[in-house]
Structure 1
């Protein structure tokens, strides 16, 4: 089904075996800005991918909780027909596996690595997480997929905690906070950002009775109303570089109808006695079909992939 990868046959009678590949759609073949621009004497036969940043450094949101656009920007184009799908949930519920399926990854293809790393048995046993911040990928169909670090994660909490119990990550204007409070705020910030910049937000939990996730979404819903969508014209205003937490700035940015990503609730376990089970792969296929075929909400105006990314960084400042 989904996820087959194309490849042409070579006329060379003895082709070298291809190296393992990361599934990541290439940007357009036109010139790229800055340090990724084509050089005057550059060999046009050099693969385009070699001039792009390493996949491992693409994180939009880093482990220091800083938003970066320069790493992912070269993979985006001026195309305006794209869909942003984000995901949020606790550790070990299969978020990266779901995103790989939506991408169209075919695990049966030899030598192919999944676009999103999945939790190995070693990581599971050591109680660690394999996704840091926000890891983006973009499919050939121009689906921008945002995999995220887990919320309510003991391993994330352990990583940000100093010996005295304070947080190593300044999540509120450099204010010193306890690690527990900072960890909770990080989950809220992540939820507000995703609901502001995505068309579809997958909310994954083990079951419908995950009260922590429901409380998180209620908090996100309360805080989201002061945040514009990425296409707000005020985000592109020259004065937007000085965005601050002041109410006046928020009121100027809050124009038009309120926007929020469409949530899809995904439960990876069903403990009800009447639950009808089907194969895991079949369920993933159905979820992928639903995501790819659903009518997504529109931003307030048309914008390109590159504009979306730049304005998403400004939303993060809010």
Structure 2
């Protein structure tokens, strides 16, 4: 049989339903199922392509989840930069721990780069939020305060205690000759966690002028109001500081400032050290009202002829005569002979330090090995002040933030002090005759 005839016979068998035989049915079934399977395959492929385009190129299905996770390392590899060193595993874990800490610890980490904070403004209002951000909650605190008249160099001396003196307290001269630079209290925390407090000048008429421009003297005369605010400032420094620097200009001690210092020390009698903490928590049966800070006297801007042993001895005798009957701690911390060996050591070791005028002693003289520069003297002075003993026991565990909260309460107690009120009435009686 010819091949053409065979094709014709198969065609006739597929077109007539009555055709029977063992060969005709299987061949018809194979032919039909093959066409159907090929059509189904095309349909599934078309649906699959259409769904992938709708889904943005991603295949949809429950079993496709692991495939998306396996693609993550590819993205991480793209982020690598050949020009940056990779963090060690230990340091990387440390960063993760810091990121997982609460807001309080995060605030303490930000304290590392300190800036000058206005702790109290010119209206005697504490800036609580800004101050607490600059302080830490770790146990222990150490405070250095400073007092003195206008223009004696308080900010310059206190700035030398910081890591970058030119970026700490403002040491520029005010625009007006009778104005002052520091208003209220400025605070700076060093890398050693030393709290530095720079205050506005005491016994200053410029403070009165500024008060009259923005407020009032509460009905007090100008001189009484000036003395009252000076006492408030000195009492506060004596109550919250571990070391208080009393700065005067020139070779002679400032008698007016020393008298105010003695008066403030007597008027602060009865003020507790930490008014918000019970004495039992500090290990005392009753408040210890006899604790005193170390008071250091600084004669700044001494001229060449005044920078001598004679000037030093004369100031020691003056301090002894004025402070021998007071409770002020003015001995045992500073040794000026350690900074300048050509000065004789004093047996009672008074807290007295002389500093030359800024334009003098700026460099060492090759012919005089004992002559120190101003920067060297300030550095040695700073080291001796920072070496002051810290508070012991539970008093030494008070954190910086708790110290500040107690300081705010202390100032409120000073303003409402009965001794201050009685002193004010006495001044009025004396003035009125």
| Deviant stretches of 4+, over 6 Å | none
Alignment correspondent of 1:264: 296
Alignment correspondent of 1:4: none
- Cα pair distance change 1:70/1:236, threshold 3 Å: farther
Do structure 1's residue 177 and structure 2's residue 177 form an aligned pair?
A: no
1: distance between equivalents of 2:194 and 2:165? 17
More helix by share: 2
1: distance between equivalents of 2:182 and 2:271? 26
Alignment correspondent of 2:255: 211
CA contact (8 A) 1:87 1:147 kept: yes
1: distance between equivalents of 2:392 and 2:304? 36
2: distance between equivalents of 1:299 and 1:101? 30
CA contact (8 A) 1:85 1:145 kept: yes
1: distance between equivalents of 2:255 and 2:175? 23
CA contact (8 A) 1:84 1:144 kept: yes
Superposition pairs of residues 121-200 of structure 1, within 5 angstroms: 123=174, 126-161=177-212, 168-169=215-216, 175-200=218-243
Larger Rg over CA atoms:
2
Superposition pairs of residues 17-96 of structure 1, within 5 angstroms: 30-32=101-103, 58-96=117-155
CA contact (8 A) 1:61 1:134 kept: yes
Do structure 1's residue 255 and structure 2's residue 299 form an aligned pair?
A: no
Normalising by structure 1, what TM-score?
0.68
Alignment correspondent of 1:295: 389
CA contact (8 A) 1:64 1:169 kept: no
What displacement does 1:231 show? 6.9
Alignment correspondent of 1:115: 168
Aligned pair count reads: 249
Normalising by structure 2, what TM-score?
0.51
SS in 1 for 2:127: coil
SS in 1 for 2:196: strand
1:142-175 Cα distance to aligned partner (Å, 9 max, x none): 001101111122221211136xxxx9346xxxx5
| More divergent stretch after superposition (92-101 vs 59-68) | 59-68
CA contact (8 A) 2:141 2:398 kept: no
SS in 1 for 2:202: coil
SS in 2 for 1:283: helix
2: distance between equivalents of 1:193 and 1:283? 28
Alignment correspondent of 2:272: 228
Alignment correspondent of 2:334: none
Alignment correspondent of 2:380: 286
2: distance between equivalents of 1:286 and 1:180? 38
CA contact (8 A) 2:142 2:194 kept: yes
2: distance between equivalents of 1:257 and 1:153? 30
CA contact (8 A) 2:144 2:194 kept: yes
What displacement does 1:305 show? 0.8
2: distance between equivalents of 1:272 and 1:254? 51
Q: Taking CA–CA contacts closer than 8 Å with sequence separation of 6 or more, which of the two structures ends up with the larger relative contact order?
A: 1
What displacement does 1:208 show? 3.6
- Cα pair distance change 1:298/1:84, threshold 3 Å: farther
1: distance between equivalents of 2:242 and 2:168? 20
SS in 1 for 2:278: helix
Unaligned 5+ residue runs, structure 2?
1-82, 85-97, 309-355, 357-371, 414-433
Unaligned 5+ residue runs, structure 1?
1-10, 13-27, 39-46, 108-113, 238-252
